[in-house]
Structure 1
Amino acid sequence: MNRIKEVLEKKGIKQIWLAEQLGKSYNMVHSYAQNKRQPSLEDLYKIAKILNIEAKELLVEHKDNIK
């Protein structure tokens, strides 16, 4: 899971702008933002660079309750 949509909203950035900067279609970026698809690690780092944040800020931390 990713936080792309949340980060874009927080920064006031449109998905279409990110798609243009990333060189991807709007539909692809929209799929990332809706968590229907996950970006490759390479694209995740590109997105982070474009948004001027750390890549880890785009990820949802998953904690298992395994004992």
Structure 2
Amino acid sequence: MGVIMPAILDLLYRQYCRARLAEMRKQLLIAAKRSEALEADHHHPADQGDDERAETYRKTRRAPN
């Protein structure tokens, strides 16, 4: 019985570590997706506005007000 208890504790600890790592990876993946979505939302309107200003300039050869 002196050998079994440390082996059981080792097994439990390894399972805990695997579960914790899986949880951490999941959180990082969620955070990365959220960050990408926020970045895309943040840059999209500015890019669109710049395109509209460039198109207006091409048509009129004057900067929009």
TM-score, with length taken from structure 1:
0.21
Which one has a bigger Cα radius of gyration? 2
Structure having the higher helix fraction is 2
Q: Choose between structure 1 and 2 for higher RCO, CA contacts under 8 A separated by at least 6 residues.
A: 1
TM-score, with length taken from structure 2:
0.21
